[in-house]
Amino acid sequence: GAGVSQSPSNKVTEKGKDVELRCDPISGHTALYWYRQSLGQGLEFLIYFQGNSAPDKSGLPSDRFSAERTGGSVSTLTIQRTQQEDSAVYLCASSLATGPGGNEQFFGPGTRLTVL
């Protein structure tokens, strides 16, 4: 596709269930980022991938959160034993490369997660 896609667009789950969020970056983009945006708040940086590698996982909120990327393309963010405070919009972005250079991030439409 032409842009970053994310699925599902909306996910409602019960507390304690596991959820898996998917991100398809722009083809050829080596860098992939996950963010969380709570209602009316800014973006919270969770993790980034350079290729299939995520060198720093310290941004993940807890050990219930994990992410992986395969084939340098699709990434999944998994939240185990969801809690109500996990409710937020999860945004994925991709860029041509990492580093402080002008490689702008292209954002997907996000997945709105609601934990009941």
Partner 1 sequence: AQKITQTQPGMFVQEKEAVTLDCTYDTSDPSYGLFWYKQPSSGEMIFLIYQGSYDQQNATEGRYSLNFQKARKSANLVISASQLGDSAMYFCAMRGEDSGGYQKVTFGTGTKLQVIP
Binding residues vs partner 1 (CB under 8 A): 33, 35, 41-45, 48, 50, 55-56, 58-59, 89, 91, 93, 98-102, 104-107, 109-110
Q: Which is nearer to partner 1, 13 or 103 (CB)?
A: 103
Q: Which is nearer to partner 1, 47 or 80 (CB)?
A: 47
Q: Nearest to residue 33, comparing CAs of 13, 55, 1, 2?
A: 55
Cis peptide bond upstream of 8, omega within 30: yes
Query: What is the full DSSP assignment across 18-74?
Result: -EEEEEEPPTT--EEEEEEE-TT--EEEEEEEETTB----TTSSSTTEEEEE-TTS-
Q: Which is nearer to partner 1, 82 or 95 (CB)?
A: 95
**Virtual CA dihedral for 58, 52, 20, 100, nearest 10 degrees?**
50
Min. distance of Cβ 16 from partner 1 in angstroms? Answer: 27
Q: Which is nearer to partner 1, 14 or 40 (CB)?
A: 40
Min. distance of Cβ 95 from partner 1 in angstroms? Answer: 9
Min. distance of Cβ 56 from partner 1 in angstroms? Answer: 4
